[in-house]
Structure 1
Amino acid sequence: MTYLGFHLTFILGPTVVLTAVALRSRARLGPRTPAALFAVAPLALLYTARWDQYLIANRVWWYGEDRVVGSWLGVPYEEYAFMMLQPVLTGALLLALLSLRSAPLVRPSTSWHGRRAGAAAGSALILTGLGAGAWALRNGGGWTYLGLILVWALPALGGLVVASWPGLRAFWRESLLTWAVATTYLGVADGIAIASGVWTISPEQSTGWLVFGLPFEEALFFAVTNGLVVAGAMLFWVPGLPPAGDGIRSE
Structure 2
Amino acid sequence: MTYLQFLALFIAPLLLLAALHAHRTRRAHPDRPWRTGLTVLALLWAAAWVWTTPWDSWIIHRGVWSYPEGRVLATVFRVPLEEYVFMAAQTLIVGLWTLSRIATGTPDVTLNTRCLRVSWGNVWLLAASAGAAMALHGPSGTYLGSMLLWFAPLLAVQSYVGADVLHACRPIRLTSLLPVAACLWIADRIAIALGIWQISTTRTYGPTLLGLPLEEALFFLLTSLLVTNGLVLATHPRIRHRLRLPTAEARSPRHQVAP
Q: Identify whether the pair has TM-score above 0.5, normalized to the shorter chain.
A: yes
Pick which of 19-28 and 235-244 moved more: 235-244
Partner residue of 1:2?
A: 2
1:114 shift after superposition: 4.0
Segments ≥4 residues shifted beyond 6 Å = 243-247
Question: Could you say which residue in structure 2 is the equivalent of 1:188?
Answer: 186
Q: How does 1:115-126 map to 2 (within 5 A)?
A: 115-126=114-125
TM-score by length of 1: 0.86
Q: Indicate which of 74, 90, 96 corresponds to 2:94.
A: 90
Structure 1 residue runs of 5 or longer lacking an equivalent are none
Q: Which amino acid aligns with 1:96?
A: S
**Match 2:78 to one of 66, 74, 79:** 74
Residues 155-196 of structure 1, C-alpha deviations (whole Å, 9 max, x = no match): 111212222434423322011111211221111111110111
Q: Residue type matched to 1:35 in 2?
A: T
Alpha-carbon shift at residue 40 of structure 1 (Å): 0.7
Number of residue-to-residue matches in the alignment: 244
Q: Deviations over 1:70-93 (max 9, x none)?
A: 111211001111122211110111
Aligned partners of 2:96 and 2:116: how far apart in 1? 27
Aligned match of 2:244: none
> Taking CA–CA contacts closer than 8 Å with sequence separation of 6 or more, which of the two structures ends up with the larger relative contact order?
1
Q: Aligned letter for 2:218? A: L
Could you tell me which amino acid in structure 2 is paired with residue 29 of structure 1?
Answer: R
Aligned to 1:29: 32
Alignment gaps of 5+ in structure 2: 241-246
State the identity as a percent: 31
Counterpart for residue 215 of structure 2 = 217
Residue identity in the other structure for 1:19: A
Contact 1:60 1:205 in 2 (8 A): yes
Q: Deviations over 1:176-222 (max 9, x none)?
A: 11121122111111111011101101111111111121101101111
Contact 2:116 2:164 in 1 (8 A): no
> Which of 127, 140, 143 is the matching residue for 1:145?
143
- What is the distance in 2 between the residues matched to 1:245 and 1:5? 55
Normalized against structure 2, the TM-score is what?
0.84
Q: CA deviation at 1:116?
A: 3.2
Q: Distance in 2 between matches of 1:32 and 1:242?
A: 14
